[in-house]
């Protein structure tokens, strides 16, 4: 048996990822992400820059309290300052103080940067690199050397760029990482230039650090590995300065499943990939990209009627990999034209098998969905409201909360009074915020009408206006185990909120009546396998 080549993985979400506009981490965020990355099984976690940022120093102390199972923590830093003595360099010594096993040191490989930005000589730049690596090595630290702007440097002055590599190797760098810092290098150039470096290095392994400025960070990383690199740097979800870094979430499954390399401590960990990706989005406060390769909500979502038919015959027809390998799942979009077959698929998931494809009620449900989307509903974001429509049309659910009205008084003194009436039961809540008061009042009434729903809470909410006329309110609900999303669209904000709120409770009751609360293995509460949307195209 041939032993597969191993590729080292360094995650820099906490360092280079923190350079992304819109991203900032608290100490607690950094700890949480570190533990996730350790669980995923990466080799190194580049966690901060102790010399530049005093707050990162806290992290290096704090993380020692956690016993990591897989990953080594790495500190980031630059080479020593020009014309100085490395042992007196504060930033370099900050790395030693951080008490890490691994340091990632960046240095210049492009003469433009040496001469115009650093404003030093080519010779002194080489000395800075050698001294810093050598000094840290003598302190027992493994050094990964990031050769900044390597590809651009190589294209303009290959001799100097290779000289930088040689010096880093002589100084004892474990890995020499070729950085496409500006992200503008083409995949074929990456292959050729990486190949030439791999051919000239003997002791150090060659690494890759790609940016996505021309949309090629993932492909460039794969091409670099094909050229012989054995160390890959990237971030979760590709977050990073400008257009971001290479996305490890996209790179890892291709490396392992498509190219046959060994990476991560355990290949099975890739099943956690979608979950880890989504958790990192949540920690950062960014909306997940539903179109993200491998892990996105829509990555295995089939919409065209011909595709749905084919996938039901053989998933390989329109799937490049089994979605479960990365913790994702297959989904179908129900559209006006491709509709009936997909609605039947949904009903099967709900345990309803006695409805035929040509049933008039299905057509009515689809046309109702279509009509509501014209009014401004977006069921992709709130499939539970659409599933309710189908169930009601088929007679599997009957609305419980039917007559409702409200009255609200809000005053800038900080007083909001909401009076709500559902099915003739009235409640009044006073709160600072009118929406909080509305949610509480609805909850109070509903638990009197249907006590089992008292464990349900709306968790998140977003409101947008459509065309300056209608308001769309989307709400997520949870019972602690599952979550589901509903939507209300209306001219009046409170009306839209009420519709989303009521749907949230109705959906829970509908699922409970179908016995699905007792069968949590069917993940119907999260609606991960069915998404409803009406659409004119197949």
Among positions 316-335, residues that touch a second copy (CB under 8 A) are 316-321, 331, 333, 335
Cβ–Cβ under 8 Å, residues 417 and 428: yes
Contact call for residue 61 and a second copy (CB under 8 A) = no
Contact call for residue 395 and a second copy (CB under 8 A) = no
**Other CB atoms within 10 A of residue 67 CB:** 6
Contact call for residue 267 and a second copy (CB under 8 A) = no
Q: For the sheet with 301-302, list strands across it.
A: 301-302, 331-334, 530-532
Helix axes 434-449, 493-513, angle to 10 degrees: 30
Distance, CA of 114 to CA of 177 (rounded, Å): 18
Contact call for residue 385 and a second copy (CB under 8 A) = no
Distance, CA of 22 to CA of 286 (rounded, Å): 8
Cβ–Cβ under 8 Å, residues 136 and 102: no
Contact call for residue 402 and a second copy (CB under 8 A) = no
Region of 38-46, 228-236, 247-255, 516-524 interacting with a second copy (CB under 8 A): 247-255
Contact call for residue 425 and a second copy (CB under 8 A) = no
Distance, CA of 257 to CA of 322 (rounded, Å): 10
Torsion of CA 528, 41, 32, 104, to 10 degrees: -130
Q: Which of residues 198 and 214 has its CB atom nearest to a second copy in the complex?
A: 214
Q: Which of 61, 64, 139, 258 binds a second copy (CB under 8 A)?
A: 258
Distance, CA of 112 to CA of 83 (rounded, Å): 19
Cβ–Cβ under 8 Å, residues 112 and 120: no
Output phi, psi for 18, to 5 deg.
-70, -10
Contact call for residue 426 and a second copy (CB under 8 A) = no
Contact call for residue 290 and a second copy (CB under 8 A) = yes
How far does CA 494 lie from the centroid of its chain?
A: 32
Contact call for residue 5 and a second copy (CB under 8 A) = no
Contact call for residue 259 and a second copy (CB under 8 A) = yes
Contact call for residue 430 and a second copy (CB under 8 A) = no
Q: Which of residues 317 and 481 has its CB atom nearest to a second copy in the complex?
A: 317
341: burial class by Cβ within 10 Å (0-12, 13-18, 19+)?
A: middle
Contact call for residue 375 and a second copy (CB under 8 A) = no
- Work out how close the CB of 253 gets to a second copy at its nearest, in angstroms, rounded to a whole number: 8
- Work out how close the CB of 170 gets to a second copy at its nearest, in angstroms, rounded to a whole number: 27
Contact call for residue 300 and a second copy (CB under 8 A) = yes
Contact call for residue 20 and a second copy (CB under 8 A) = yes
Residue 509 neighbours by CB under 8 Å, 6+ apart: 397, 400, 450, 452, 453
Contact call for residue 49 and a second copy (CB under 8 A) = yes
Contact call for residue 75 and a second copy (CB under 8 A) = no
Contact call for residue 522 and a second copy (CB under 8 A) = no
Q: Which of residues 312 and 355 has its CB atom nearest to a second copy in the complex?
A: 312
Q: Using CB under 8 A as the criterion, what x/- string covers residues 453-482 for binding a second copy?
A: ------xxxxxxx--x--x-----------
- Work out how close the CB of 95 gets to a second copy at its nearest, in angstroms, rounded to a whole number: 16
Helix (H) or strand (E) holding 474: strand 470-478
Q: Using CB under 8 A as the criterion, what x/- string covers residues 140-159 for binding a second copy?
A: --------------------
Q: Which of residues 239 and 394 has its CB atom nearest to a second copy in the complex?
A: 239
Contact call for residue 285 and a second copy (CB under 8 A) = yes
Q: Which of 5, 121, 188, 266 binds a second copy (CB under 8 A)?
A: 188
Which DSSP letter does residue 481 get?
A: S
Contact call for residue 314 and a second copy (CB under 8 A) = yes
Contact call for residue 207 and a second copy (CB under 8 A) = no
Distance, CA of 94 to CA of 344 (rounded, Å): 62
Distance, CA of 110 to CA of 139 (rounded, Å): 28
481: burial class by Cβ within 10 Å (0-12, 13-18, 19+)?
A: exposed
**Other CB atoms within 10 A of residue 204 CB:** 23
Residues numbered 217 to 246 that lie near a second copy (CB under 8 A) are 218-220, 222-223, 226, 238-239, 241-244
Residues numbered 78 to 117 that lie near a second copy (CB under 8 A) are 112-113, 116-117
Q: Which of residues 10 and 369 has its CB atom nearest to a second copy in the complex?
A: 369
Q: Which of residues 238 and 339 has its CB atom nearest to a second copy in the complex?
A: 238
């Amino acid at each position: 048996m041939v032993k597969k080549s191993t590729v080292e993985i360094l995650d820099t979400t906490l360092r280079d990822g923190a350079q992304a506009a819109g991203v900032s981490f608290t100490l607690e965020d950094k700890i949480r992400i570190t533990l996730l990355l350790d669980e995923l099984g990466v080799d190194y976690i580049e966690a901060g820059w102790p010399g530049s940022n005093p707050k990162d120093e806290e992290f290096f102390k704090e993380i020692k309290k956690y016993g990591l199972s897989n990953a080594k923590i790495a500190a980031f830093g630059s080479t020593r300052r020009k014309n100085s003595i490395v042992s007196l360099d504060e930033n370099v010594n900050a790395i030693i103080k951080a008490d890490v096993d691994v340091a990632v040191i960046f240095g210049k490989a492009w003469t433009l940067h040496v001469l115009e930005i650093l404003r030093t000589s080519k010779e002194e730049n080489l000395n800075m690199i050698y001294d810093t690596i050598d000094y840290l090595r003598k302190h027992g630290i493994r050094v990964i050397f990031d050769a900044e702007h390597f590809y651009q440097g190589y294209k303009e002055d290959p001799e100097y760029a290779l000289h930088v590599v040689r010096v880093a190797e002589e100084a004892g760098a474990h890995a020499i990482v070729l950085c496409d810092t500006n992200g503008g290098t083409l995949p074929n150039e990456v292959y050729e230039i990486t190949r030439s470096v791999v051919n000239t290095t003997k002791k150090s392994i060659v690494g890759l650090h790609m940016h996505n400025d021309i949309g090629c960070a993932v492909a460039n990383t794969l091409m670099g590995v094909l050229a012989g690199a054995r160390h890959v740097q990237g971030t979760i979800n590709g977050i990073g300065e400008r257009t971001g870094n290479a996305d490890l979430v996209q790179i890892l499954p291709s490396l392992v499943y498509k190219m046959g390399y060994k990476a991560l401590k355990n290949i099975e960990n890739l099943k956690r990939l979608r979950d880890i990706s989504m958790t990192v989005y949540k920690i950062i406060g960014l909306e997940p990209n539903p179109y993200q390769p491998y892990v996105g909500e829509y990555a295995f979502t089939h919409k065209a009627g011909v595709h749905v038919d084919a996938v039901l015959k053989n998933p390989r027809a329109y799937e490049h990999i089994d979605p479960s390998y990365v913790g994702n799942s297959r989904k179908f979009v129900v559209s006006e034209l491709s509709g009936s077959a997909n609605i039947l698929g949904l009903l099967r998931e709900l345990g309803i098998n006695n409805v035929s494809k040509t049933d008039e009620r299905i057509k009515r449900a689809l046309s109702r969905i279509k009509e509501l989307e014209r009014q401004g509903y977006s069921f992709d974001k709130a499939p539970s409201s659409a599933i309710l429509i189908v169930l009601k049309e088929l007679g599997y659910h009957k609305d419980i909360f039917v007559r409702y009205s409200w009255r609200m008084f809000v005053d800038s003194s900080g007083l909001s009074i909401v009076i709500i009436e559902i099915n003739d039961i009235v409640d009044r809540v006073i709160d600072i915020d009118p929406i909080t008061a509305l949610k509480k009042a609805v909850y109070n009434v509903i638990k009197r009408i249907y006590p089992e729903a008292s464990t349900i809470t709306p968790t998140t909410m977003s409101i947008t206006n459509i065309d300056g006329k209608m308001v769309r309110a989307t709400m997520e609900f949870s019972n602690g185990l599952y979550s589901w999303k509903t939507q209300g669209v209306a001219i009046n904000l409170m009306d839209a909120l009420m519709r989303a709120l009521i749907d949230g409770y109705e959906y829970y009751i509908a699922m409970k009546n179908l016995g699905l609360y007792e069968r949590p293995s069917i993940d119907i509460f999260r609606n991960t396998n069915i998404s409803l949307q009406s659409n004119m195209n197949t």
